[in-house]
Chain A
Amino acid sequence: MYRYDEQDRQIMQERVAQFADQTQRYLAGELSEAEFRALRLMNGLYFQRFAPMYRIAIPYGMLSSGQLRMLAHIAHSYDRGYGHFSTRQNIQFNWCKTEDIPKIFGLLASVEMHSVQTSGNCIRNTTTDPLAGVAPDELEDPRPYCEFIRQWSMFHPEFAYLPRKFKIAVSAATQDRAAVQVHDIGIYLVQNAAGETGFQIWVGGGLGRTPILATRIRDFLEKPHLLSYLEAIVRVYNQHGRRDDTNRARIKILVRDLGAEKFAELVEAEWVKIRDGVLKLEDSDLQRMQTYFTTPEYDAGAAADSRFAAQLESDKAFARWVRYNVVDHKQPGYKAVYISLKAPGIPPGDATHEQMQALADLADRYSFGEVRSTHDQNLVLADVQQKDLFELWQALEEKQLATANIGSLTDMICCPGLDFCGLANAGSIDVAEKLNERFDDMDYLYDLGELRLKMSGCMNGCGHHSVGHIGILGVEKKGQEWYQITLGGNASNDASLGDRIGPAFDKAHVVDAIENIVKVYVDNRESEEERFLDTYRRIGMEPFKARVYAQEEAA
């Protein structure tokens, strides 16, 4: 993974000192609440319902075991013992004290981490495929490009006060595991007719109040131009994006209002003026960056192991975990392992400091000391030998980290909701818990297959409800918490936005509604292989609607 050099260290130390000074001036009354607001947000510090929330960047989801231990330490010493992994592959703490933040920032810097631009109207943490570098369906490792984007976007003097937040995702695999098309800029690594690898550029995707999928504006961009092209897009956005209404300030609205074609013209016109300027990357730059993301020293004989096959045969629970949480690896004899942070009774995405410590140790023992976070709020050990899987599974079981539910209904994405967030209109964690109770029959859950349920506690859509196969959106009506349900959303290559099923449900009925929706699927699917999403796309909304509201009336 990327390691800081002298320049990275210098810049981060200076930033820590700068933010410590800003915090001190705020606490001393020299900076007003309003003035400090923009500054603290750009450093990941929110003031919310009960205590400040502090969001720490995990650049494109990569964590070393040492970094994870530091997060465990922060959770233990400065929070209430746990952290929450977010849909931006970041982690946030909900109970830190404002005056402690500069100190925590310093601790982060000591392990080459930071909280810069994890909020505010600026370019946020770039996200990618959690299987980057190990996926069999990958064209090329996307992480060197993510790191280029990380550096280019960090402390960018021109783009610190954009109309609104700005998110970039990169994917290099056949299957999009990074939800590229719901980003302000989405980048796919692709090959052109000549067999060269470059970038396909999409813009104007985003969730929230007005969910819109991104549009492709460039089929192929040569590698040296990555940064100049991004700069052209963001400059056009900074000059033309709306600032009069927060809900119309994202780049998706600009692209929609201008039309993607016109927007692309503006970008190209800007880009031709800078494409051969200082931002142009040289081959040596690309090569230097790639040296940070080399293949670890795999055991060439790993595939010769026969224990794994025997263990699969003899232990049903293990086999089930492997089936759901373990995926193929490009290296024979190795697997990538999803660590579910969706155990029943635990808010989705939460991990305790003991769990983080244990995972850091397991990463050292089994996976070259690295852990990744995923945009669906789980973790990944990306380089595990198949012969070690059984032991790893047992160790994970002990720490409640072996819930075998990846991709299933209970592997839901969920924002912190009304319990923590100052913006939320409705609780989401308690609904998640009720869903877990309702769908506690694991066999039934497995029978349902891949079913992506995503839930947000308000319109801002942090829980990505618009692209859930089943989406749940919490809304407030007359002081009550209500839930709107959408069906048919999807964040992968064939991305789609969910359709609203009808009137919202109150808290007492939302779980019944979900159960009925699931029953309609089971009754209508053509085979066990047909996923919920495919059944929905085939049969449409009517059968779901009929069942769900018939039950409502009878109730």
Chain B
Amino acid sequence: MTLPLSKRVIRDRQIVEDPWLHLADEDALPESGDITVSLERWQSDNDALKAYAGHVGLRLDSDTDVEETGLAINDIPLIVLDFPIIDTNKRGYHPVGKGYSQAYLLRTRLGFKGEIRARGPAVMRDVLFYMSRCGINSFEMDESKDINDALKAFNEMTVAYQPSADSMQPAFMRRRNTAA
């Protein structure tokens, strides 16, 4: 089944129309347009994807070790990370946080410059700031969530205690400058 076009996403802290179509593994390639595919399809269908007219983005599930994909990662325009919620032992809502490390490693270790997108049920206003600190710059949220409201997330915190994949200088480094 082809997933519907998401209408709008947040990219670089702005709401934009989303051109990407998330193609399921069993779906035929469309005539044109930008698509994303799973890592399995990326590997098994590589020739066809290379010949494809539009841009092709890569979807990774949260178990993928981003340092071990063996792909020329910087040739990819978009990497979509999955943020599922699991109901472990029926004890309720348990957001899976592996994507934060995946994004951090893509940015800082693999030098990935393209778009990193967070997608899945755990993507909501209150986690966007942490996600953006880890290097995620686009956000695809469930339609039930208020995308305009979510934009507020980026301005809630202006000081960071630790370095991550963003440009915020951690407090302990800022103190070095003030003490000098």
Partners in one complex: yes
Binding site for B on A (CB under 8 A): 5, 7-8, 10-11, 14-15, 17-18, 21-22, 30-31, 34-35, 37-39, 121, 148, 151-152, 154-162, 227, 235, 238-239, 243-247, 249, 273, 277-279, 281-282, 284-285, 288
Could you pull out 17 A-B pairs where Cβ atoms are within 8 angstroms? A10-B159, A14-B159, A17-B156, A21-B156, A35-B126, A37-B92, A121-B94, A151-B161, A156-B161, A158-B164, A159-B100, A160-B127, A161-B100, A238-B100, A239-B65, A239-B101, A245-B89
B171 within 8 A of A: yes
B176 touches A10 (CB 8 A): no
B179 touches A38 (CB 8 A): no
Q: Which residues of A contact B127 (CB under 8 A)?
A: 160-161
Give B166's nearest chain A residue, CB to CB.
A157
CA distance A112 to B25 in the complex (A): 53
Per-position binary interface string of chain B over residues 100-116, scored 1 when its CB falls under 8 Å from any chain A CB and 0 otherwise: 11001000010000000
A151 touches B100 (CB 8 A): no
Among B92, B101, B160, point to the contact of A155 (Cβ < 8 A).
B160
| Least distance between A440 CB and chain B CB atoms (Å) | 40
| Least distance between B117 CB and chain A CB atoms (Å) | 17
CA distance A52 to B95 in the complex (A): 22
| Least distance between A12 CB and chain B CB atoms (Å) | 9
CA distance A154 to B88 in the complex (A): 25
- How many of B's residues come within 8 Å of A, CB to CB? 43
| Least distance between B104 CB and chain A CB atoms (Å) | 5
Q: Which residues of A contact B65 (CB under 8 A)?
A: 239
Per-position binary interface string of chain B over residues 73-107, scored 1 when its CB falls under 8 Å from any chain A CB and 0 otherwise: 00000000000001011011111111011001000
Among A34, A158, A246, A278, point to the contact of B173 (Cβ < 8 A).
A278
A243 touches B88 (CB 8 A): yes
If over half of A's interface residues share one DSSP class (helix, strand or loop), that class is named, otherwise mixed; here it is helix
A5 touches B161 (CB 8 A): no
Per-position binary interface string of chain B over residues 109-150, scored 1 when its CB falls under 8 Å from any chain A CB and 0 otherwise: 100000000000010101101110110000000000010000
| Least distance between A123 CB and chain B CB atoms (Å) | 11
Give B174's nearest chain A residue, CB to CB.
A7
A247 touches B89 (CB 8 A): yes
Give A238's nearest chain B residue, CB to CB.
B101
Q: Which residues of A contact B124 (CB under 8 A)?
A: 35
A5 touches B175 (CB 8 A): yes
CA distance A442 to B93 in the complex (A): 49
CA distance A311 to B86 in the complex (A): 63
Among B101, B158, B161, point to the contact of A152 (Cβ < 8 A).
B161
Among A18, A35, A282, point to the contact of B176 (Cβ < 8 A).
A282
Binding site for A on B (CB under 8 A): 65, 86, 88-89, 91-98, 100-101, 104, 109, 122, 124, 126-127, 129-131, 133-134, 146, 156-164, 170-176, 179
Give A160's nearest chain B residue, CB to CB.
B130
B89 touches A14 (CB 8 A): no
B100 touches A160 (CB 8 A): yes
Q: Which residues of B contact A18 (CB under 8 A)?
A: 156-157
| Least distance between B44 CB and chain A CB atoms (Å) | 25
CA distance A159 to B157 in the complex (A): 17
Among B88, B95, B104, B163, point to the contact of A244 (Cβ < 8 A).
B88
B97 touches A238 (CB 8 A): yes
Give A273's nearest chain B residue, CB to CB.
B109
Q: Which residues of B contact A22 (CB under 8 A)?
A: 126
Among A5, A8, A31, A246, point to the contact of B88 (Cβ < 8 A).
A246
Contact status of A285 and B172, CB under 8 A, knowing A14-B158, A158-B164: yes
CA distance A278 to B74 in the complex (A): 24
Contact status of A152 and B162, CB under 8 A, knowing A160-B100, A238-B100: yes
